[in-house]
Amino acid sequence: MFAARRSAASTRQLMRQPPRRFGSHSAHSEPVNEGFGRSFYVTAGSIASAYILYRISSASQESDSESFIAGLVNKFSTPQEVLEQRNAIHTALLEKAAEDRHLLQSQGPREFIELKQPEYVD
């Protein structure tokens, strides 16, 4: 009974509202002159600056000198000799640690006798 009342009440409210008509001239607004927006200009500027940076870096490569970007990368990268020295030191330390571990593990467990009254041992 209550479900029938609820559905009848909702349909009654729908019947009271007049149907919407789209035949009038006020449905469309005036045409607006829209710009490209900020994202278009940011994208266009980043593409242009990337192209200019590429041309600057490739212009100096023709003269057999390294480019500005390659110079920056080489300035902050570690030379191969330093990396080889670090690896040799690291390998030596790991081998020493492995020897110490094998030495300590090969001795076996320590014998320990739990005494109920250790004061009588003296």
At 48 the pLDDT is 97
Separation in Å, CA 94 to CA 81, 84, 91, 102, 120 = 20, 15, 5, 12, 46
pTM over 0.75: no
CA–CA distance, 84 with 100 (Å, rounded to integer):
25
What is the pLDDT averaged over residues 105-122? Answer: 75
pLDDT band at 61 (very low <50, low <70, confident <90, very high): low
For 26-36, what is each residue's pLDDT tens digit?
656 777 888 89
The dihedrals phi and psi of 9, each to the nearest 5 degrees, come to -65, -40
Structural tokens at position 30: 């005036």
At 38 the pLDDT is 94
